[in-house]
Amino acid sequence: MIPAIQQWPSAFAERYRAAGYWRGETFGGILRQRAEHRPDHTAIVEGNTRWTYADLDARVDALARGFTALGLRRGERVIVQLPNVAPFFSVVFGLFRAGILPVFALPAHRVTEIVHFANRSQARAYVILDTWDGFDYRALAAEVKEKAPTLEHVIVAGDDAGPFTPLADIEKHEGPLPPEPASSDVAFLQISGGSTGLSKLIPRTHDDYIYSLRGSNDICELDENGVYLGALPIAHNFPMSSPGTFGALYAGATVVLSPSPSPDAVFPLIEREKVTITGVVPPVALIWADAARSGGHDLSSLKLLQVGGAKLTPEVARRLLDAFGPVLQQVFGMAEGLVNYTRPDDDEEVVIHTQGRPISPDDELLILDDDGNPVPPGTPGHLLTRGPYTIRQYFNEPEANAASFTPDGFYRTGDIVLVRPDGNLVVQGRAKDQINRGGEKVSAEEIEDHLLAHPQVFDAAVVSIPDEYLGERTCAFIIARSPAPKGVELKKWVRDRGLAAFKVPDRVVFVDSFHTTAVGKVSRKDLRATLRQRLLDADAAER
């Protein structure tokens, strides 16, 4: 049995409703309204596919019926692992309309991660695309199905479903529509970056998420004339909701999908579709800045270029301003809730040097020292937050909940920030044992556990090392047993354990010991910090 999800305490819920944040809207309901208001306006563009709002709404009705006819019921979970393709929206909104919860996996996830999501959420179905980017998701699904006992259905978008159910068959069902969910219901499960081991599932309600969309649209000035380009994988929270593709649909705007964030794919789309807003991670922004300077495409429709997911350095921010003009916006957010933006009318200094300020006047921020006391204003400290779109607990994670949330409901972000006198936040670092690899999050503990499973590994510690392009990369320190394995063997080992490629250590360093102190009791955290410093010193000495 999965423990019930305790939502916000009723006093908070009442306050958020009274303030007009939570308005009783649902995803299925807003799509219907937009389709009635402007049926012929383009909702989704992907390659040669163009769906109007009426097209999308009709597909969503068909799929809500089809998923119900398959036996799926309100409140049950379905893993959705789709890249940037139009059916992402018909599937996800079809599930929303039926009150079934999508669990958002990334295209990069592999068997270990998907099985974990399936088991943790007790998902009954798994939706994939047949193949993408040279990878066969049907083979992955076959493996997943063997290891995830609750999974009954694999549903395949694309031309060849293989042994599984074609999405096109689900879309054919007639019959009555299932009852709409309540706006206070959990709409879906997003996934956390993971800091203590495996990714956790993040329950977001219609009310809270739609409020974050409305707030983001206001800040980003995204209205029904806007065109949002999905360049990053759209299942991630940033391109989904800040304001992202969901914000665009909430606004009644147009969503354009790019199969990849490469300038070759994106720039022609910006020009052709007159894209007004898009969001990328810093390494992608860096490539775009270079490509934009060499010219060749008319990018003048772009009013907002958002950069988030990892720290943007002031140097790169300046390069972006040089290449694109005053359209840069910094975004510091998290799938658990809180999102901060610099504002379009902020001074350049703010846009270059800060990660902005929260969406909501009711986002409460605490900046605490290591002992849990508030720091003096302007001093860096641990960021904790609660508010009208930040979760109060993870899904089915009693232990992690106790560590990640305070008794009065603040989420411990694991980020070290300072708040400037003007209210803007500056991210200074991280207290959590996570590597932020250009926006892709890797849990040190998760990778250590996989390395420790290797028979020739006696001990392992995984840390971040600075990287010019990605910001950070992963380095695994290994104490090997004799005969020692090679670094490449350990990388292959991690990959073969069925993990997303971005989790494979970039560098492997063999050491004789971890030099624990005389007391012998060094925390994992201190150990990682010491090893990291030792390596940086050694690298510097070599130069």
Binding site for ligand OOB (CB under 6 A): 193, 237-238, 242, 308-311, 330-335, 339, 355, 413, 415, 427, 430, 436, 441
Taking the complex as a whole, how short is the minimal distance between the CB of residue 88 and ligand OOB, in angstroms?
18
Taking the complex as a whole, how short is the minimal distance between the CB of residue 359 and ligand OOB, in angstroms?
10
* Chain position carrying tokens 């996989």: 450
Taking the complex as a whole, how short is the minimal distance between the CB of residue 534 and ligand OOB, in angstroms?
24
Cis peptide before 178 (omega within 30 of 0): no
Q: In the complex with ligand OOB, which residue's Cβ is closer, 153 or 319?
A: 319
Q: Which long-range contacts (CB under 8 A, 24 or more apart) does 299-303 make?
A: 299/267, 299/270, 299/271, 299/324, 301/227, 301/270, 301/271, 301/274, 301/275, 301/276, 302/270, 302/275, 302/276, 302/277, 302/278, 302/327, 303/221, 303/276, 303/277, 303/327, 303/344
Q: In the complex with ligand OOB, which residue's Cβ is closer, 291 or 335?
A: 335
Decide: helix, strand or coil at residue 173. Answer: coil
* Chain position carrying tokens 């879309």: 171
Q: In the complex with ligand OOB, which residue's Cβ is closer, 226 or 438?
A: 438
Q: In the complex with ligand OOB, which residue's Cβ is closer, 53 or 88?
A: 88
Taking the complex as a whole, how short is the minimal distance between the CB of residue 423 and ligand OOB, in angstroms?
16
Q: In the complex with ligand OOB, which residue's Cβ is closer, 228 or 238?
A: 238
φ, ψ for residue 433, nearest 5 deg: -85, 75
CA distances from 56 to 87, 94, 321 (A): 9, 10, 36
Taking the complex as a whole, how short is the minimal distance between the CB of residue 183 and ligand OOB, in angstroms?
22
Q: In the complex with ligand OOB, which residue's Cβ is closer, 63 or 219?
A: 219
382, 402 in Cβ contact below 8 A?
Answer: no
Taking the complex as a whole, how short is the minimal distance between the CB of residue 246 and ligand OOB, in angstroms?
12
Nearest one of 312, 222, 299, 240 to 266, comparing CA atoms: 299
Tell me the residue nearest to ligand OOB as measured from the CB: 333
Sheet hosting strand 328-334, strand order edge to edge: 49-52, 42-46, 254-257, 227-230, 277-280, 304-308, 328-334, 337-341, 357-358
Q: In the complex with ligand OOB, which residue's Cβ is closer, 51 or 332?
A: 332
Q: What one-character DSSP code corresponds to residue 163?
A: T
459 forms beta bridges with 479
Taking the complex as a whole, how short is the minimal distance between the CB of residue 437 and ligand OOB, in angstroms?
11
**258-268 residues labelled b (16+ CB within 10 A) or e (exposed):** bbebebeebbe
Q: In the complex with ligand OOB, which residue's Cβ is closer, 242 or 360?
A: 242
For residue 39 the two structure tokens come to 């049926």
Q: In the complex with ligand OOB, which residue's Cβ is closer, 283 or 309?
A: 309
Taking the complex as a whole, how short is the minimal distance between the CB of residue 468 and ligand OOB, in angstroms?
17
Taking the complex as a whole, how short is the minimal distance between the CB of residue 542 and ligand OOB, in angstroms?
29
Q: Report strand pairing: 42-46 vs 49-52.
A: antiparallel
Q: In the complex with ligand OOB, which residue's Cβ is closer, 87 or 381?
A: 381
Give the other-Cβ count within 10 Å of 113's Cβ.
23
Q: In the complex with ligand OOB, which residue's Cβ is closer, 66 or 358?
A: 358
Residues 6+ apart with CB under 8 A from 379: 367, 418
Give the other-Cβ count within 10 Å of 379's Cβ.
12
Taking the complex as a whole, how short is the minimal distance between the CB of residue 383 and ligand OOB, in angstroms?
8
Taking the complex as a whole, how short is the minimal distance between the CB of residue 191 and ligand OOB, in angstroms?
8
Q: In the complex with ligand OOB, which residue's Cβ is closer, 171 or 440?
A: 440
Kindly report the CA angle at 209 between 203 and 212, in degrees rounded to 5? Answer: 140
Decide: helix, strand or coil at residue 222. Answer: coil
Taking the complex as a whole, how short is the minimal distance between the CB of residue 240 and ligand OOB, in angstroms?
8
Nearest one of 382, 418, 225, 213 to 303, comparing CA atoms: 225
Question: What type of residue is 80?
Answer: V
Half-sphere exposure of 291 (CA within 13 A, CB side): 17
77 forms beta bridges with 101
Residue 502 and residue 457: Cα distance in Å, rounded? 21
Kindly report the CA angle at 247 between 246 and 251, in degrees rounded to 5? Answer: 115
Taking the complex as a whole, how short is the minimal distance between the CB of residue 286 and ligand OOB, in angstroms?
14
Q: In the complex with ligand OOB, which residue's Cβ is closer, 76 or 336?
A: 336
Residue 486 and residue 471: Cα distance in Å, rounded? 26
126, 114 in Cβ contact below 8 A?
Answer: yes
Q: In the complex with ligand OOB, which residue's Cβ is closer, 94 or 282?
A: 282
Taking the complex as a whole, how short is the minimal distance between the CB of residue 201 and ligand OOB, in angstroms?
12
